[in-house]
Amino acid sequence: MLGAAMISKKSAYVNAFHNVRWCGAHLSLSERLLFAKIFIMKGHQKVSQDALPEYFRSVLWAHDFTRMNPEKDRQTIIVQAVNYGDLRHWRWIAKRYGKRVVASVLADTRADSVRSRVRSLASLLFRMNA
C-alpha cells in the first residue's frame, strides 16, 4: 500500500507528464519524463516557504546554507544579513520577520556581534535603541 505522500508525488508526476506531453509532442518518452521531473522540482522550489533566497548564500558563507531554516536560524540570518548584507537582504528580513522582530533580535544580540556602524543604521531603520 502506498503512503499518502507517495500517492501525492505520483499524481504530481502524472499531471506534469501530461502537461509536457501536450507542450512537447515531438519529444521521446524519456525526454518527457525528464521534463516532467524538472517541472515538478521547479514547482516545489517555488512553493517552499522555508527556503532562503539564493542571494543569502553570500552573507551566510560561514554556515551550511542548505541546512539553514528561516525560522530555526532566525537570529543568525538576521545578524549576518545586517552585518554583511545589502539593501535587498535588509528588505527581505524586514518583510519576512517584521521590523519589530528584527529590532528585538538585534537588541537581544551581544553588542560585539553587530558592527557598530551597522548597529547605528539598523537602529534608525528598525526603530530600535542603539
Q: pLDDT digits over 51-65, tens only? A: 899 999 999 999 999
Residue 63 maps to a domain: yes
Residue 130 maps to a domain: no
Grid coordinates belonging to 106: 538585534
Q: In this structure, are 63 and 107 located in the same domain?
A: yes
H helix and E strand count, the chain: 6, 0
- Taking CA atoms, 124 is separated from 14, 63, 109, 128, in Å, by 52, 28, 17, 7
Q: In this structure, are 60 and 117 located in the same domain?
A: yes
Q: What is d(CA 65, CA 81) in angstroms, rounded to the nearest whole number?
A: 13
Structural domain boundaries, residue 82: 54-125
Q: What does the pLDDT look like over 107-128, one tens digit per residue?
A: 999 989 999 888 888 888 888 6
Q: CB–CB of 78/48 below 8 Å? A: no
pTM above 0.85, yes or no: no
Q: In this structure, are 68 and 38 located in the same domain?
A: no
